[in-house]
Amino acid sequence: EAQARLVVMCAPNNPTGTVYAEAEIRRMAESIPGLLVVDEAYAEFCDQDLTGLLDLGNVILLRTFSKFYAMAGVRVGYALASPALAAELQKVVTVFPLSVFSEVAALVALEHRERFLAMRDRVVAERERIGAALATLPGVQVIPSGTNFVLIQLDRPKTDVLHHLHHRHSLLISDMAAYPELVNCVRISVGTPAQNDLVIQGFGEVLGGSRV
């Protein structure tokens, strides 16, 4: 809406994993009189840098340690904004926003960022491997992802796949039926190579096609 005071979006998108072009996000920020808040929870899993948008003055980028650093339990995140906007945000920050434990854990994680980058690279490689393998199966559409999960659209009922993966391979994947636009979709979080092999094998056993 042209008069929106606040617009919130995810980039990459959750739950689809879609990566939006920076130019698209910039146009959105420039088209509204209010703030554009971009949730970048999965930013480290895609090759995109949106910090250039901060110069617009009405963009806030939100980052978290929950995904890339696998530290959801410590509840650590931060915001990036222009100096003027950051000063306004500082006025509403609570007195003790983080526990000492969370602060120490975050600092230790930052000291080992290179290790996390290597882990990220393995996750991205596995994400692409899963997508490429499942795309060969009939009735499967793989949605391109810039996150640590893969969204799959099926042209048949999902129950067979979900039941087979659960009872044959002890794997649970997300049924996206709660989203009206994604009723025919399932979402796979990237696991270990062995777990991913079972996912690919399980889909093949139900839908036919190549197996691991």
CATH number for 155: 3.90.1150.10
Report the pLDDT value the prediction gives residue 212, as an integer from 0 to 100: 44
- Taking only the tens place, the pLDDT of each residue in 57-108 is 999 999 999 999 999 999 999 999 999 999 999 999 888 889 999 999 999 9
Report the pLDDT value the prediction gives residue 2, as an integer from 0 to 100: 66
- Taking only the tens place, the pLDDT of each residue in 130-162 is 999 999 999 999 999 999 999 999 998 899 999
Residue 36 confidence (pLDDT) above 60 = yes
The answer as to whether 102 is a domain residue is: yes
Q: What is the DSSP letter of 54?
A: G
Total tally of structural domains belonging to the chain: 2
**Same domain for 120 and 97:** no
**Same domain for 103 and 14:** yes
Q: Read off the pTM.
A: 0.90
Portion of the chain with pLDDT greater than 70, in percent: 97
- Is the Cβ–Cβ distance between 147 and 210 less than 8 Å? no
What average pLDDT does the chain have? 94
Structural domain harbouring 15: 6-111
Question: Which of 48, 77, 111 finishes a domain?
Answer: 111
Question: Which of 111, 129, 144 finishes a domain?
Answer: 111
Question: Which of 63, 79, 111 finishes a domain?
Answer: 111
**Same domain for 77 and 26:** yes
The answer as to whether 212 is a domain residue is: no
**Would you say the C-alpha torsion 165, 167, 169, 170 has a positive or negative sign?**
positive
